A and B are shown apart, each in its own frame.
Chain A
């Protein structure tokens, strides 16, 4: 995180490849790339070893990503220009799918709805998780923290649809919550098949992760900075706003962004808790495929989602790592 001021900061882990050892770094300043010069004997051999080492360990994941992510992604983009004739997929180079989807009001509505519901989820999750993360990071013993972190991972032991089904039971008209409320003269609560239901599902998915990420972010804030704030007259709550949140900014933004990304692409919660009313983009994709086998139109929606996620990620990374205006 942003802990270390300049000076003795180690290079980021991602850069610590063999070739960037101090010696390797020095030879990097040579005017020409290694391939076009004949430097002294020992240096290139060490660099070559380093390159082979990097290739050996780096190639398998790179190949994996190429085979199962880049190729399908290229295929997905290509398919947006295909057409469907008599329910059969036909290679083509038409813009008709793009024109249709981008002009369709059902797409626009679903896009706006999904986007804002995901933003809302990210905000709710971030705000709801913060007190828990704050407690875990600062207020409990290390043993209790380890236990709680373990407990936050436990939800991921069961598959997500199973968790959503059990949530469905909680909120169903004769479910646990409504049976508990009825004797009190309250309810019934209508959560299932509403946007609220979708948000509840999104939170089931994202909240444990957001708490975890925020806990790590807060735990990395140097204690002395918090003490310095106290020492300079800043009470507990003001310290959160003036020192803790700015210090943990990157981690907190990453946590919120994760919540957004997970919610934006989720299919399970809006289907089983939101009742597809109104549909989100992931439901639109399924609908396009199910009704009419229209893979190209589904692909357009998918590509739009990927582009949106990329833009959001870039904006959030810029927000996380960018210099703040207030500083200059």
Chain B
């Protein structure tokens, strides 16, 4: 296999006695959109800063095209970063901010100006070229920060929580714009975010971290449908986790005695739970249908409605069974228009056994 563009090899970063990043290894290919995701304090930002050279790894090696990068000063690297706070220079105009990196590379003034002009045009900020930073809105600042980084025409772009300072409707727009820029430029994007919806919407691959360690690396779909452990299954949201005692059935499928009742799922291809052991079954909430009456096939659980939450046209229904087991179902508004869902109302939650999967171990 060809050398990957970026390799992190057993990288760790300690502050005093604390490990911000404990032991992280992964590779990034040219042109990938990678999201580093995890709760705050999980080490994702430190990992990004080490790639930029703003923090030094305590141990391990970071390589770019096979060459050790650890000792390179940040100004010797080609890894512009877009800060969460944008970190624009308030004493310079928009144009001078965009030209800043080009000037450091001793590009002659006319070329500098031309390039800056191009990028300001491309990001729709050419109209503000002469303004000061304090005269811009948050969304405009974001674009200036992007233009300032991209004007260097780097082979990778680092983004630290790029959308979290924007208001929600701008966030969605910027999200699709980042995806478009990534596609058009063909360079590597490495984006830190704590939001799984952001990560899953933008990235080709997601690296999920917790407490300085990688929990899972995979494509968004893979992580949603095959969480590697309990942390991932809970962190990505929208999953039901049923823990109980497993029983291997005659047809090879597994039945689980869980708080919501006995539910069935196929055995995983390898390392499935043995009879009598404790296992955790994950059922994505969007795979659970709601109906007024059961049909007698698949998994069916009768439960009462506890809360109904509306987010746009998506409805999350929280349910509780007679035995105190909890589960939730996520449906589109139109799918449940004809299902009565008053609080306290009994409904049947059902899903096909093949939609559930067991956590390894």
Contacts and interface: CB of A to CB of B under 8 A. Distances in A.
Interface of A: 2, 5-7, 222, 224-225, 227-235, 238, 242-243, 246-247, 249, 323-324, 326-328
Contacts of A324: 91
Contact of A249 (B91, B93, B96): B91
Interface stretch (B3-11, B81-89, B211-219): B81-89
Given A231-B52, A247-B91, A5 B133 contact: yes
A325 to B, nearest CB: 11
A220 to B, nearest CB: 13
B148 interface: yes
B170 to A, nearest CB: 14
A163 B214 CA distance: 61
A249 B132 CA distance: 17
13 contacts: A2-B91, A7-B138, A224-B83, A227-B74, A230-B53, A231-B54, A231-B81, A233-B104, A234-B75, A247-B89, A247-B91, A327-B132, A328-B93
Contact of A224 (B80, B87, B138, B152): B87
A235 B89 CA distance: 16
B134 interface: yes
B104 A228 contact: no
A320 B270 CA distance: 70
Interface in B67-81: 73-75, 79-81
Interface in B88-140: 88-93, 96, 100-101, 104-105, 130, 132-135, 138
Contact of A228 (B83, B93, B141): B83
Given A5-B134, A228-B83, A234 B90 contact: no
Interface residues of B, number: 33
B299 to A, nearest CB: 50
Contact of B75 (A225, A230, A327): A230
B135 A6 contact: yes
Nearest to B52: A231
A246 B74 CA distance: 21
Nearest to B93: A327
B16 to A, nearest CB: 12
Contact of B87 (A228, A235, A326): A228
Interface string B38-62: 0000000000000011100000000
A107 to B, nearest CB: 41
A225 B73 contact: no
Contacts of A229: 89, 100
Please name the 10 residue pairs, one residue from A and one from B, whose CB atoms are nearest each other, closest first: A232-B101, A233-B104, A228-B87, A224-B87, A230-B74, A6-B134, A246-B91, A234-B104, A327-B93, A5-B134
Nearest to A234: B104
A327 B92 CA distance: 5
A324 B96 CA distance: 13
A215 B88 CA distance: 23
A222 B87 contact: yes
A305 B354 CA distance: 90
Nearest to B132: A327
A4 to B, nearest CB: 9
Interface in B140-166: 141, 148-149, 152
Contacts of A323: 132
Contacts of A242: 100
A243 B79 CA distance: 19
B90 A230 contact: no
Nearest to B74: A230
A274 to B, nearest CB: 39
B100 A232 contact: yes
Contact of A225 (B74, B87, B130): B87
A222 B88 CA distance: 11
Given A230-B73, A231-B52, A327-B132, A5 B90 contact: yes
Given A238-B104, A326-B96, A231 B74 contact: yes
